Structure 1
């Protein structure tokens, strides 16, 4: 897991986050145009939907500094993982269990389906961390993906 791959994953994550925020802004623009067209402000009841579109992008930009700090501080190491049965998708979160663990899970949020399939096929992710608060940077091989996860004990 070299620096070039980490940079590619971070660039991909930044691009994806900007896409979510642009989607939210476009949705809000459409709401505004529809409200002007029909002459009613009730359309803005759908504003939380626009915020929902922006959440993944905002989460990435809020956690970007922590990601970079984890990647610079801790060495990256490969870990064999599998999805926790029954908890594959709880809300927006995904739980992974490391092989040989004593019920410690890795909680991740906002994982695209292509990355889920990549993890299912390969059964491996690369971690940098965890720090004392349990946060860890999670990278995948094959599909460039980088996110902030948390080690939780069940």
Structure 2
């Protein structure tokens, strides 16, 4: 079955996710500051219509911080187990989301809100993820082995 994912790897992945989330929020704040300075410099507030772009930069980081407690609860309540997965044809990339089909499932997908390209490549290459859960609401902690990445996914019915 392979090497078991331990607490040390989970902690490393969560630390990396925390840093990435702080980076997204910092990028958002810096973008907002730059837009504000440009609007003051040119004397026009029309530049501020780009503020939704700043919010878009912050979304991945905020999503992580709001879901981190749920993810920790899942990791504490369920053991990590390795799962064979494949991208769903035609739905492999819907925006930043990824839809994965688990081996042996008949009518369910695993929806991940964020999945960087480096992680997508590793999943394509290995065909495996580590999963803790799902809970009664279908939430699942998802982790990769080899590339530090952890996120909160959801099991959805087709």
TM-score when normalising by structure 1 = 0.99
- SS in structure 1 of the partner of residue 136 of structure 2: coil
Matched, 1:52 2:56: yes
Matched, 1:91 2:129: no
Aligned ranges 1:123-142 → 2 under 5 Å = 123-142=127-146
Matched, 1:4 2:8: yes
Q: Which residue of 1 aligns with 2:119?
A: 115
Q: Which residue of 2 aligns with 1:73?
A: 77
Moved over 4 A (4+): none
In 1, the alpha carbon distance for the partners of 2:148 and 2:55 equals: 26
In 1, the alpha carbon distance for the partners of 2:30 and 2:114 equals: 21
User: Offset at 1:91?
Assistant: 2.2
In 1, the alpha carbon distance for the partners of 2:29 and 2:72 equals: 27
User: Where does the alignment leave 5 or more consecutive residues of structure 1 unmatched?
Assistant: none
In 1, the alpha carbon distance for the partners of 2:107 and 2:89 equals: 12
User: Offset at 1:103?
Assistant: 2.5
- SS in structure 2 of the partner of residue 29 of structure 1: helix
In 1, the alpha carbon distance for the partners of 2:14 and 2:96 equals: 21
User: Where does the alignment leave 5 or more consecutive residues of structure 2 unmatched?
Assistant: none
Q: Which residue of 1 aligns with 2:47?
A: 43
Paired positions, count:
154
- SS in structure 2 of the partner of residue 20 of structure 1: helix
In 2, the alpha carbon distance for the partners of 1:140 and 1:103 equals: 23
- SS in structure 1 of the partner of residue 150 of structure 2: strand
